[in-house]
Amino acid sequence: MKKNNNEIIQRLESHYVSDDCCQIMLPFTEKTTILSDNGIMFHRDDNVIINEYIKDERRKKFPYHNIPTHLYKIPFIGKVGYTNQILEYEKPIIRVFEGYAIESFAVKDNSNALLVHKTLYPIEEKTIISLARSLKRDTDEYITREELIKLLEPNKDEEIFYITSDGQLYTKMPIPEEIIILSFLKENMQKKIKEIKKYIINNDDSLGDYLEQNAMLSFMQECSDKVDFKALNFNVDLCGGNILLVVRIKGENITIKGYTITFKASNKYYVDEYNIPITKYTLEQLKFGVSKIEKTKEPKISLGINPGVTKQDIKKAKQMIKTLKSK
């Protein structure tokens, strides 16, 4: 197996490895979501923190289980958070944060384990497929509202999560109703007209005087009140400059597709679809033919930036490592 540029392969030491699972440490930022086939493992968003690790009794088999999260200071970057997570063998987990989607996958190798981190997104431009073209629409590049909803809604017996590429998590489809979109556009246009009128009042502007004297602004205001916005064309990005990642979980299977969605007009949406494949690796793939396998490093936890951690906590974790290594 040739190592790809979007893959990092590491060897986990035996004290982080058990028969059915291993413990890994993953970086997180202000907005981060980690998913497995069991759903949400970890989520951080402003004041909301979910961490299923602290409920998992298997964590007690591993060092540093008493320090589930910690901060680490990286030169020229700043403080980065790290969270412990339990990773079952041959089952991928997906981490989304700051414009990235990363797959982590572990395979047991005797008393050790091999761990892969693969960048799923950003992805190469060639993997982008125009959904309109994939639907073989030769005369119309748009899809309808009904088709859009059908594309994003959950199928039978599956769990679905919507995550923007910056890490924002939604448990319901984050596409607003058309009436909300059109109302926003109308209110925004009226706001702009008021801002122009305010500018004219406060500034000596010949163009503004001309528009005001010829009742152009009043006409614009009247038109914005009466115009049928459903008949107008727009170019509104409904994903806020992000990619909407749709994660579907059915049994032990996880699939991901990414979408950019643009509102063009009433019942007209332009959609790009990103195919984001998840890889299930074998031990042979990881162990043979790879020129470099990195060794995982023990965490360096500073008490100065981790006020909730004590010297006794760190001492306990290090002592557990010694005990496990001596077995």
pTM for this predicted structure: 0.82
- Pairwise CA distance, residues 5 & 92, whole Å: 19
- Written as one letter, the residue type at 198 is K
Chain centroid to CA 133: 26
pLDDT in tens, 292-311: 889 899 999 999 999 999 99
Token match 């923007």: residue?
A: 164
Give the per-residue pLDDT at 290: 64
- Parse the chain into domains and list their residue ranges: 7-124+279-325, 179-231
The burial of 308, by beta-carbon neighbours within 10 Å (0-12 exposed, 13-18 middle, 19 or more buried), is given as exposed
pLDDT value for 300: 93
- More confident of the two residues 71 and 212: 71
Task: Give the DSSP per-residue string, 45-85.
Answer: ETTEEEEGGGG-GGGGGSTTTT--EEEEEETTTEEEEEEEE
| 236-284 pLDDT per residue, tens | 899 888 889 999 999 989 999 999 999 988 899 999 888 888 999 999 9
What is the pLDDT, as a whole number, of residue 231? Answer: 62
Q: What is the pLDDT of residue 1?
A: 46
Least confidently predicted of 40-44, 170-174, 187-191, 268-272 = 187-191
Cα 319 to Cα 296: distance, rounded to the nearest angstrom: 18
